[in-house]
């Protein structure tokens, strides 16, 4: 029974790592696109405004690199990746709340995914990593 629980929770962490890799790749892709096309025209009722999105692009790119690196570390079952993942995904969730007005559906989906990833990273981490005694017996 303990082995099946360990396998199930290991699967949750692998799922979280895979989601971090995917979210990181999407953020990197969006960041690069924004950096190449960083000026947008915004039509307001009284005027036309030129908006520079360079800071938005760099933020997306940095979040993407951090999420991707943490996903790779989680797949390698590194403890630093678990701690960094909780911090980075928490910051990503705060960023999604800040962008809720601009992208409501996307932000809500990302918040739900961030919540699930944080749950997978914080619940039963000790059962994911093999115990040293188990490694010696094999």
Q: What angle do CA 34, 107, 111 make, to 5 degrees?
A: 125
In the chain, the N- to C-terminal Cα span, in Å, equals 20
The continuous run of DSSP H or E covering 1 comes out as: none
Q: What is the DSSP letter of 130?
A: P
3-state SS, residue 36: helix
Q: CA–CA separation, 127 vs 131, rounded Å?
A: 8
Residue pair 93/64 in contact by the 8 Å Cβ criterion: no
Q: Give the per-residue pLDDT at 34.
A: 86
Positions of the chain with pLDDT under 50:
1
Q: CA–CA separation, 43 vs 21, rounded Å?
A: 36
Domain range enclosing 7: 2-41+49-137
Instruction: Please tell me the total count of domains within the chain.
Output: 1
Q: Give the per-residue pLDDT at 1.
A: 45
Q: Give the per-residue pLDDT at 46.
A: 78
Q: What angle do CA 20, 24, 27 make, to 5 degrees?
A: 140
């Amino acid at each position: 029974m303990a082995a099946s629980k360990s396998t199930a929770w290991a699967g949750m962490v692998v799922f979280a790592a895979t989601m971090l890799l995917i979210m990181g790749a999407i953020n990197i892709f969006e960041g690069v696109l924004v950096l190449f096309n960083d000026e947008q025209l915004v039509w307001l009722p009284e005027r036309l405004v030129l908006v520079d999105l360079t800071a938005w692009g760099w933020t997306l790119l940095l979040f993407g690199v951090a999420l991707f690196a943490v996903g790779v570390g989680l797949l390698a079952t590194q403890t630093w990746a678990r701690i960094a993942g909780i911090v980075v995904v928490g910051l990503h969730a705060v960023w999604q709340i800040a962008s809720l007005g601009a992208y409501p559906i996307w932000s809500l989906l990302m918040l739900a995914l961030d919540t699930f990833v944080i749950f997978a990273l914080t619940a039963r981490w000790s059962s994911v990593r093999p115990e040293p005694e188990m490694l010696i017996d094999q």
